[in-house]
A = this chain, B = another copy of it.
Amino acid sequence: MDLDFIKPLIKPANTKIVLLVIDGLGGLPREKNGKTELETAKTPNLDKLAEESICGLQQPVKTGITPGSGPGHIALFGYNPVKYQVGRGVLAAHGIGFNLKSGDIAARGNFCTVDENGNVLDRRAGRIPTEKNQELCKLLRNIKLPDTEVFIETVKEYRLLLVLRGNGLSGKLNDTDPQEVGKKPLEPKPLASEAEKTANLVKQFINQAKDVLKDQHPANMLLLRGFSEKPDWPTMKESFGLKSAAIAGYPMYRGLAKLLDMNLLETGNTINDEFTTLEKNWDSYDFFFVHIKKSDSAGEDGDFDRKVSVIEEVDKQIPRLLGLNPDVIIVTGDHSTPAVLKYHSWHPVPVLLWSKHCRHDNVKNFGERSCITGGLGPRFPAEDLIPLALANAKRLEKFGA
């Protein structure tokens, strides 16, 4: 929904909304005519909740489009995921918990191997171990650029992060990664005039890096992509009047919440820990984003049974959630990750929205097929969930006289 449309309708209320994201929730049957992960899982609490909710299937982006975790969450937070796109460099920074400042430019890097003519032989430098990466990053930290701070951080194996901090920088640059072997790395070129200075700095950085790495093996060069600036988006408070908190263990999801200025709560590693964190902070916020990662990891590993048991583990926490007496609960995922596909997919995601004031449909249990005939329909736009939650939380004025 258009943020400018909804903003004048926002009103304060003493109500609480919980968005429980079971990452990669949607699935597919393992056998023909079989059940999906969610349909297989024993979820008495979620089924009871679904019975008292309005249910459906939601689409984070568009029909047929497989969302990355970025757009998947941005949509669940009520923002149009096509309009509010996060650059890959910025996501990489968030992924390792690097605290980007306004105006910073971030890029993802690969250590790679080039031949004597400078042509790329291996875009991933034989997937060097993380320890080697750390050693090389240490060397690269000697690079100095005029009037600009340079940050080099190890991500994992061959992957690194580059951040430039200075005045008048822009992320509008092309990637230097040629995306295929046998070609030279591309020159960093400005895609808009405001990026000329940055292109020049990146060129200097690459020339020095080439020199630093030239005698290393197999990682004797680097490739950069996804140059991007920390976006300056309206916060959850500005957009929806919500004092928001994020309960998420993984840096990437903490980073996404941080983009909208949610408060990041410290939490332990287990699902149980996350609900304890929720209980402890219950009085301090209007909106809680609770992120469950393990369902997606199980899906990506192709482990149907493990995904089932993560969902069952979440189900056991639902009574604790209800015990807090929330006004609105949304349970859904940021996308589907069917274990049979071992990857994010385009299939819409089961969703329930529970509140005292929602109008129940006829859905009696929480599953992909049961939700098709729910009151939200089989293709509900994910970005409309927050407006609907606000309505149910009595946080929206009437539109028009």
Contact = CB atoms under 8 A, between A and B. Distances in A.
Contacts of A56: 378
A67 interface: yes
A68 B399 contact: yes
Interface string A346-386: 11100000000101111000001100111111111100100
B388 A88 contact: no
Contacts of A400: 61, 67-71, 81, 85-86
B380 A344 contact: no
A63 interface: yes
Contacts of A65: 6, 9, 387, 391, 396, 399
A221 interface: no
A322 interface: no
A390 B345 CA distance: 12
Nearest to A69: B401
Contacts of A63: 1, 380-381, 384, 387-388
A381 B63 CA distance: 10
Nearest to A347: B359
A9 B362 CA distance: 37
A43 interface: no
Contact of A341 (B61, B85, B357): B357
A357 B368 CA distance: 14
Interface residues of A, number: 67
B390 A64 contact: yes
A387 B70 contact: no
Nearest to A384: B63
A380 B379 CA distance: 9
A155 to B, nearest CB: 13
A398 interface: yes
A348 B358 CA distance: 11
A5 B82 contact: yes
Interface string A224-242: 0010000000000000000
A62 B359 contact: no
A352 to B, nearest CB: 14
Contacts of A82: 5
A28 interface: yes
A393 B91 CA distance: 28
* Chain B CB within 10 Å, residue with most, of A85, A389, A391: A391
B28 A66 contact: no
A65 B389 CA distance: 11
A91 B388 contact: no
A64 B388 contact: yes
B68 A401 contact: yes
9 contacts: A65-B387, A66-B397, A67-B398, A67-B399, A81-B399, A345-B391, A362-B369, A372-B374, A379-B380
Given A66-B397, A347-B359, A379-B380, 17 more contacts: A1-B62, A28-B359, A56-B378, A64-B388, A65-B387, A66-B399, A67-B398, A68-B398, A68-B399, A69-B401, A70-B400, A81-B399, A344-B398, A346-B396, A361-B369, A374-B378, A377-B379
Minimum-distance CB pairs A-B, first 10: A64-B387, A68-B400, A64-B391, A71-B400, A64-B388, A63-B384, A346-B391, A70-B400, A66-B398, A377-B378
